[in-house]
Amino acid sequence: MSYKVTLREKKINDGKKSLYLDFYPPIPLKASDYKKNKKGELVTTTRREFLGSYIFEKPKNQLEKNENEQKLRIAGAIRSKRENNLNKPEIYSEDEKEKLRLRELGEINFVEYFEKLMNKRTGSNYGNWSSAYNYLKTFTKGNLKFSEIDIIMLEEFKDYLLTTNSIRSEKVKLSQNSAVSYFNKVKATLKQAFKEGILQIDINSRVSSIKTEETRRDFLTEDELNKLIKTPCKNQLIKKVALFSALTGLRFSDIKKLKWGEVEVINEVGVFINFTQKKTKGIEVLPISVQALELMGERKGLEDKVFEGLSYSAYNNKDLYNWLENGEITKNITFHSFRHSFATLQLLKGTDLYTVSKLLGHKDLKTTQIYAKVVDEMKQEAVNRINLNFGENEF
């Protein structure tokens, strides 16, 4: 029996065409791929194989034309191999078939594979993956075959992240910790590709991550917080929530979604918040102070949000910065700094590192140690303030 394999195109909704192979006569399916048609009949053959590759229906520029040509060339090569395999299977040894399979895997676009993994993420995690994708796409111009990935290429991408400017602001260099995060997303993608058998070598384990740069975490002292309490703020909700963060150590995202059903008052024991951290997904039981409870206001329904109307926006940030300026705070303070203030003040007042780590919901004690370092620096500065005038022959 002679098989004919034809490369065809199918229009889809977003101005693109999906590439697929048309087999005549139909080719047998594996038993695991058998399915039933609308009539309930068992289907054991197929005429189509979609390649998961898409071209522009009407290319708008030379870049899109070039991309179309490349994908059609790759699809044509796959078509040719399929036809050869179907019509002359006896001329290929098992070793040769495996080499053909690996060659086809090597033609897969790594950037498109990264995008598929990115689309499985949600929330802030999706945002981080999306940012990493933008830098990867810019560096590779959107075209990077798995067969082209090696240690040299990955080291070049690492250097690119460490030297390029931020996409958001071309005048500002991409921070090292952002570079760390984005490069780790690429490493995670390589690890997944190895797990799925697309990569035959675990190249991820052979490339080191970018070292994290220690950042200074500004915080507010107790005197500064008390000063802000007395300072008027145009947005009372933002003022209340910022001080609530300083009293509890909660992130903005966790405060925003906090509901009254998660707040429990136990007589003669205390007040507790039972919630799931948005960032880490960890389930937490957090004790809070009476002052924090007072900031929450009048209790409402279980499904009602404690801080109704709270949202992250440029307007709210402006109100926050104006409030800080009116309170004569000259430090580089963001909303997250109020969480830093909670951690640092707890350590300054003698709370042990392990307890502070648990209050912050950190999974690793190392994450909390940055605050301990700040406290140690403050202690060193304090002892150096005592400077006595010793004469040369006093002792």
Q: Are 323 and 231 spatial neighbours (Cβ–Cβ below 8 Å)?
A: yes
Place of tokens 């403050």: 378
What's the pLDDT score for residue 125? Answer: 82
Report the distance separating Cα 374 and Cα 347, nearest Å: 10
Quote the Cα angle for 347-350-356, to 5°: 45
Q: Which two tokens stand for residue 379?
A: 């202690």
The backbone region for 268, taken as left when phi is positive above 0, alpha when psi lies in -120 to 50, beta otherwise, is left
What's the pLDDT score for residue 118? Answer: 93
Report the distance separating Cα 24 and Cα 14, nearest Å: 29
Q: Are 57 and 37 spatial neighbours (Cβ–Cβ below 8 Å)?
A: no
What's the pLDDT score for residue 282? Answer: 62
What's the pLDDT score for residue 54? Answer: 93
Going by the DSSP 8-state scheme, the letter that residue 121 receives in this structure is: -
Place of tokens 């003022």: 239
Q: How far is CA 147 from CA 102, 159, 335, 358, in A?
A: 9, 21, 45, 45
In tens digits, the chain (395 residues) has pLDDT values of 688 999 999 999 888 999 999 999 998 887 677 788 887 777 888 899 999 999 999 999 999 999 999 999 999 999 998 888 888 755 556 676 777 778 888 889 999 999 999 999 887 688 889 999 999 999 999 999 999 999 999 999 999 999 998 887 667 888 888 899 999 999 999 999 999 888 989 999 999 998 876 666 788 999 999 999 999 999 999 999 999 999 999 988 889 989 999 998 888 788 888 877 666 666 678 888 999 999 999 999 999 999 998 887 777 788 899 999 999 998 888 888 999 999 889 988 888 888 888 888 887 787 788 788 777 777 777 767 777 776 666 66
What's the pLDDT score for residue 302? Answer: 92
Listed as own residue / partner, the contacts of 202-209 with beta carbons closer than 8 Å and 24 or more positions apart are 203/149, 203/150, 203/151, 203/154, 206/151, 207/151, 207/154, 207/155, 207/158, 209/180, 209/183, 209/184
Which stretches of 31-157 are assigned E, i.e. beta strand? 35-36, 42-43, 45-56
What's the pLDDT score for residue 280? Answer: 60
Exposure class string for 1-33: b at 16+ Cβ within 10 A, else e = eeeebebeeeeeeeebbebbbebeeebeeeeee
Quote the Cα angle for 380-383-384, to 5°: 85
Place of tokens 């830093």: 340
